[in-house]
Amino acid sequence: MNGQGMNGQRKLEGKRALVTGAGTGIGRGIALELAAQGAAVVLHYAHSAEGAEEAVRAIEADGGRVTALQADLAVPAECIRLVEEAADFLGGLDTLVNNAGITETIGFFETTESDYNRIFDINMRGQFFCAQRTARYMAEAGGGSIVNLTSVHAYAGKAGHSVYAATKGAIASFTRELAIELTSHRIRVNAIAPGLIEVPRYYRTKPTYTTEQGAATVPWGRVGLPPDVAKATAFLVSEDAEFIDGQVLYIDGGLTAKMAMPDDSE
């Protein structure tokens, strides 16, 4: 994939992007895709330093401008520091991908106050304060684009995800609200809701998981991969998506469109 449009130009040339949670999985894939399409990129990571540095080396080898920064996005002051250091490195910011988050499966009755606070602090608080500080830079620059990562869990329920789903529903609502609030600053805000996107975490947290098992649950017949989300993200932050604002785009191979009732043909 060369990230080039029909005229041979890389569509994100000149863009200055911060991608949170970019040390592994979907975030790492997004950062690589934005860089491949010409954006200068700052990769944020919390714990995945090795993955972030590998991505930095790959982007540098392709001639891209890039660095990696660590921050704990559960702490608003850390969100602000991250954004300011990213803007200093890039000479400003016009693109933010709020990808950082944690997924935990905890039964409703077993959920503690600590569990609740931990998941909301990273998944929602981090997005809010990263967006708030970044939007100031974007407003000064005359506009920009924010993409928040939510989930299919914001749309439909699955046991064990009461807190996680609540954060993702909050992100979807936050996206729509922020889109309206920032239109006067020419800042677009959209969200992407991934479905079953196969990442290394699946194999660590679900010992019995297999790609074939995942594919059997998706109407399109295969699991999603980070590039599926990355390509959609690159489109949403590009000028091609200039009239798209306040939307939630499901990248799920038809997962949320399928009725849960048994198929009579099966």
The pLDDT tens digits of the residues spanning 184-202 come to 999 999 999 999 999 877 7
Check residue 264 and give its pLDDT. Answer: 57
The pTM score is 0.92
Parent domain of 33:
16-251
How many domains does the structure of the chain reveal? 1
Tell me what pLDDT residue 5 has: 42
| pLDDT tens digits, 216-240 | 999 999 999 999 999 999 999 999 9
Mean pLDDT of 14-35: 97
Q: Are 213 and 259 in contact (CB under 8 A)?
A: no
The CATH number for 190's domain is 3.40.50.720
Sign of CA dihedral 173, 175, 177, 178: positive
Residue environment code for 228-241, b if the CB has 16+ CB neighbours within 10 A, otherwise e: bbbbbbbbbbbeeb
Q: What does the pLDDT read at residue 259?
A: 74
Phi-psi region of 209 (alpha: psi -120 to 50; beta: other; left: phi over 0): beta
φ, ψ dihedrals at 144, nearest 5°: 170, -170
Residue 265 included in any domain: no
In a domain, 115, yes or no: yes
In a domain, 1, yes or no: no
Could you tell me if residue 37 is inside a domain? yes
Does any domain span residue 3? no
- Give the pLDDT score at 157: 83
Using the predicted structure, report yes or no on whether residue 3 has a pLDDT greater than 60: no
Q: Model confidence over 130-180: pLDDT tens digits?
A: 999 999 999 999 999 999 999 999 898 888 899 999 999 999 999 999 999
Q: What pLDDT is attached to residue 261?
A: 67
In a domain, 7, yes or no: no
What pLDDT score was predicted for residue 6?
38
The answer to whether residue 264 sits within a structural domain is no
Average pLDDT of every residue of the chain: 93
Over range 204-214, report the average pLDDT.
83
Tell me the catalytic residues: 164
Q: Is the pLDDT of residue 266 over 70?
A: no
Which 3-state string (H, E, C) describes the chain?
CCCECCCCCECCCCCEEEECCCCCHHHHHHHHHHHHCCCEEEEEECCCHHHHHHHHHHHHHCCCCEEEEECCCCCHHHHHHHHHHHHHHHCCCCEEEECCCCCCCECHHHCCHHHHHHHHHHHHHHHHHHHHHHHHHHHHHCCEEEEEECCHHHCCCCCCEHHHHHHHHHHHHHHHHHHHHCHHHCEEEEEEEECCECCHHHHHHCCCCCHHHHHCCCCCCCCECHHHHHHHHHHHHCHHHCCCCCCEEEECCCCCCCCCCCCCCC
Residue 176: inside a domain? yes
Which of 99, 199, 86, 100 has the alpha carbon at shortest distance from 138?
Answer: 86
Instruction: Record the tokens describing residue 17, joined without a space.
Output: 């992007």
What proportion of the chain, given as a percentage, has pLDDT over 70?
Answer: 94
